[in-house]
Structure 1
């Protein structure tokens, strides 16, 4: 993508201000109704440029809008992507400060860790599989800088695909030991089951999500690098967060992962 337009720079500044002031903003599409998907990615990438200039490090990518229900809700037919930064990572034993976020929600995912680069376009399923080092159970903390989560596709793309943070489990599993489509998940909030799902909820297979990401980023000149963490999409509906909440996702054959939020 070329230099950001004035509208893209203005919109990026609005989102950056939401982070700085800890105050959600109205949907960008309310003031910029003609905002396209390409515009929205330009806004996201302008923020990424400023963050990396400030010393933050990209450690991976996420894919959103992978479920049929979410695609129908936003009237889209393909996913979106965002960037993951080093300061998004929380350890399982580490209480996550809920007040770091604006409107946090949690969703369970099967994370990929890459052992070799993936450079699209043209990446195939077999190439994607060969590039994966292992998978891990994960919980993503999604967040929105748009008030009340009143987002369109362009709004969430511009807002770094509603990224916030993530927790990884500690039990790596090689791909050949599991069929990701069939991996079942039970999602608990404070010891109560709030959702169940399977890997097949993510575009039929999380591998499909990884291929889409590699090819979509490749068309923009970006390579998925060795060591990157890829969050391919949620296997259940997301859950809102309150201070003091504990979430656990248990994946058949992959183990479990827990995210604990600090009391306010």
Structure 2
């Protein structure tokens, strides 16, 4: 398939807020390699315009999401500086098409991680600290009717990241047993533990570092990795306020309001 044309279609969809038909419905032969090729072309276009890579996101780490898309491997996307938001400033939801939020643990690196032989021990050694995080996801594919190749091409359906400010040394906490309580407009609506992410969110970072090596990409010192959602994604509308309490890891929040509108 035409990788450049597909990348251009996604870029236009993001700019105009007009979603496109799934690639899997118009290009029956699209492969995972094609999809990652499209993603990398989209990211390169943005880098050429001055953006920088601040981190990576991992998706499809839960059994529920894998079963929904009938795939049994995670995927990944890039987080650019233009996609990082401050939890103290409202995010304008009108800049997205159909935004949702997920609640995750983020790993901030103090050393590079170069696959393909990265181990769990390597991830622990390379991690400076972990923080609670919210990922804003969005789909440039119409009505979220996505299959694996669609979300991969669309940068893992990523649209933004918000990091909490409490920094915890990775050796000070059992990531698998971390409990997360999620609130929407101050009402509890979901709970989960770190174990939901491949048994331990650090396992997701191992997977990512090794998977990226197929494309000669490394995780870099100073970058962060969103290790995957602990629970289901939730739709966002104007006026929503979300907070996730990760216990010993601290809290992270996100508020959504259109520019110029005071709630």
Match of 1:116 among 111, 116, 125: 111
Q: Which 4+ residue blocks in structure 1 deviate beyond 4 angstroms? A: none
Which range is displaced more, 16-25 or 106-115?
16-25
Structure-1 separation of matches of 2:101 and 2:45: 27
Q: Which residue of 2 aligns with 1:21?
A: 16
Matched, 1:255 2:250: yes
Q: Tell me which of 161, 164, 175 is aligned to 1:166.
A: 161
Residue equivalent to 1:100: 95
Residue number among 77, 82, 86 corresponding to 1:82 in the alignment: 77
Equivalence for 2:27? 32
1:128 alignment partner in structure 2 = 123
TM-score, length-normalised on structure 2?
0.97
Are 1:208 and 2:170 counterparts? no
Aligned residue pairs total: 259
**1:13: Cα distance to partner?**
1.1
Instruction: Describe the superposition over 1:235-264 as per-residue Cα deviations: whole angstroms up to 9, x where unpaired.
Output: 011110000100000002111001010146
CA-to-aligned-CA distance 1:212-241 (integer Å, 9 cap, x gap): 000001122111000001001000111100
Q: Which runs of 5+ in 1 are unaligned?
A: 1-5
**CA deviation after TM superposition for structure 1 residue 9, in Å:** 1.2
**Distance in structure 2 (CA, Å) of the matches to 1:182 and 1:191:** 24
2: CA distance between counterparts of 1:12 and 1:90?
24
Q: Unaligned regions of 5+ residues in structure 2, if any?
A: none
